[in-house]
Chains A and B, each alone.
Chain A
Amino acid sequence: DAKTTQPTSMDCAEGRAANLPCNHSTISGNEYVYWYRQIHSQGPQYIIHGLKNNETNEMASLIITEDRKSSTLILPHATLRDTAVYYCIVRVAFNAGNNRKLIWGLGTSLAVNP
């Protein structure tokens, strides 16, 4: 029941911007979009999250379309250390209470090449 759709893999040249797209057409109005990444053999690492406005932090920028059905994670100057699997995630309710969980898909495997 994945709620997001991402390309399986992408390539990017070192020093260039990496633009990772995500489709989340069924997102509800008050749910955030989260981005995490997982470098090989490590635990997932939080990158950024947003609701409707574009967001920027020291790691990346997040562009969310006005209809909120898709977003793009931008790594402005990709380095070799940015090679990882990138996950675009939304939350869904999963039991009778007010509890929600993150839906983790398979993400996008980004390869940054020298």
Chain B
Amino acid sequence: NAGVTQTPKFQVLKTGQSMTLQCAQDMNHEYMSWYRQDPGMGLRLIHYSVGAGITDQGEVPNGYNVSRSTTEDFPLRLLSAAPSQTSVYFCASSPGIYHTGGRNQPQHFGDGTRLSIL
């Protein structure tokens, strides 16, 4: 039972390069989200999705794009990497429509992608 799988685990980019962080879950969860974790700060929500074909912005969405073509996958794209995007990125999933308050389901997290932008 893999849970939430993130790839790659580590990545170094140059400023201006683009890349996609992959996230896949095998639990048939409706809700998926991306967070970034920076030193001295708590996890911050970048984007989230309440189901296939539906995405929305979190609190720090600038510089990132997402799509949700299937229930299983929720990739995060950096179109033009900047040093300020150096961070650890976590993907999470949960059953139900977590953010609307209808169900209080815990989130399952991947082990993160450590991204450095030079």
Contacts and interface: CB of A to CB of B under 8 A. Distances in A.
Contact of A100 (B40, B42, B99): B99
A101 interface: yes
Interface in A63-114: 87, 91, 94-95, 98-107
Interface stretch (B11-19, B62-70, B73-81, B109-117): B109-117
A36 B59 CA distance: 20
A105 B112 CA distance: 18
Given A42-B111, A43-B90, A101 B45 contact: yes
B59 A104 contact: no
A13 interface: no
Given A43-B110, A103-B42, A106-B42, A98 B59 contact: no
A104 B43 contact: yes
Contacts of A30: 101
Contacts of B4: 43
B100 A99 contact: yes
A101 B106 contact: no
B26 interface: no
Contacts of A107: 42
A100 B109 contact: no
A49 B101 contact: no
B118 to A, nearest CB: 22
Interface string B85-112: 0000010100000011100101111111
B29 interface: no
Contact of A46 (B58, B108, B112): B108
A101 B100 CA distance: 9
Contacts of B112: 41-43
A45 interface: yes
A98 B109 CA distance: 23
Given A101-B58, A107-B42, 11 more contacts: A30-B101, A41-B112, A43-B110, A46-B107, A95-B57, A98-B100, A98-B101, A99-B56, A100-B99, A102-B43, A102-B45
